[in-house]
Structure 1
Amino acid sequence: MAEEEPIEIGFPMVAAYHGQSALAMAAIVFQAQRAALALLSPEAIPARRDISIVSGHPGPGVRDAFEVVTRAVSRGAYTIDRALPEARFVPGQDISYSFRMAIGDRIAEIALLRGVLPERFFELVFTKARTAAQERELSALKRSIAAEVLAKDPGTLFSIRAG
């Protein structure tokens, strides 16, 4: 719910706002929000102003997907907590592929399931000096992951707990 009336936000809006740099994560977070909002507010459209986010992932695709849907970043209701213990898939990296979305006192804890992101994704993303060929491969992989994630039911991508 926007300020006065409901608005429908589809992934093309998220992609247009974000661009392509982290398209896979933008798609993942778009789907995470669909799952969380269905759990937290199954019978009513929640007001953006009532939603807050804690993200274990500091990336721009994550931030932008949350911002487009909830405006949490610009409202000051978005926090990054790299210490979230769930979905820590990359040894040596201080990053969690998990999120907490709250509407009032209702909280959804969402953690990406292992295997949604292929190992090659992590290999390429965390390569310090990628070659031009690796950049092209990563770009194609991100688009492929985004398409696959968007084609799935959100419940198949995450473990979700309501608290």
Structure 2
Amino acid sequence: MSVIRVRDRNQVLELSFHDVTKYHGSLALMAVAVGFRTLQAAFAELFGEEAPERKELSILSGHAGPGFRDVFEYVTRAVTRGAYQVDVDYPVAQFDPHRPQSYAYVITAADGRAVEVALLDSFLPAEFYDYLKKGREQTMTEQDVHDFEKLKLALSERALALPQHELLTIKRIA
């Protein structure tokens, strides 16, 4: 399993997807997996093989969900440091037909270099958004809950297994 490398002062931490799930739990596994891959892609684009310093990263997330927030917090501590912002109206990767919610993320280094990482529109099936809507409306049956959990697990496994170019687009924006 691949890891994300990040510096915390003089120590280089190697954080795995499994490490992040210990922090987050299993509520939003798809989001944790996509967020994990997002950070891997952003770090590779901005820093190459170097491990970035946690305190020098800021994140704009187009998605307000706990899975994305938790992976970004666990790896960068951006939420705790006040370097995390959510903009569900971010104009890229607006795939949810039921509400504004972007699946795009901007990771910025302290020197101003920034990269936009967006989920490909083909990754999430329509039923995923329908389950989210049912959950917000509190109309999920026990079977819906079971089926949605299975779907989120399958999507997390797929997000971790796909080649990066089949999951994400990466665009240098500064």
TM score, norm. by length of structure 1: 0.96
> Residue deviations 1:37-93, cap 9 Å, x none?
000001421100100000010000010010111111111110001221011111240
Q: Residue type matched to 2:152 in 1?
A: K
Q: Residue type matched to 1:94 in 2?
A: P
1:56 maps to which residue?
62
d(CA) in 1 for partners of 2:17, 2:76 = 13
In structure 2, relative to structure 1, the CA distance for the partners of 1:151 and 1:158 (3 Å cut) is: same
d(CA) in 2 for partners of 1:43, 1:143 = 30
Q: Residue type matched to 1:34 in 2?
A: Q
Please give the root-mean-square deviation of Cα atoms over the aligned residues, in Å.
1.0
Structure 2, gaps ≥5 residues long: 1-6
- 1:9 is paired with a residue of what secondary structure? strand
2:142 maps to which residue?
132
The residue correspondences of 1:15-34 to structure 2 (distance < 5 A) are 15-34=21-40
Deviation of 1:14 after TM superposition, in Å, equals 0.8
The residue correspondences of 1:72-151 to structure 2 (distance < 5 A) are 72-104=78-110, 105-127=112-134, 128=137, 129-151=139-161
- 1:86 is paired with a residue of what secondary structure? coil
- 1:142 is paired with a residue of what secondary structure? helix
d(CA) in 1 for partners of 2:42, 2:93 = 16
TM score, norm. by length of structure 2: 0.90
The alignment-based identity, stated in percent, is 37
Structure 1, gaps ≥5 residues long: none
Runs of 4+ displaced beyond 3 Å: none
Give the paired residue count: 163
Deviates more, 1:59-68 or 1:113-122: 113-122
Structure number with greater CO (CA < 8 Å, separation at least 6) is 1
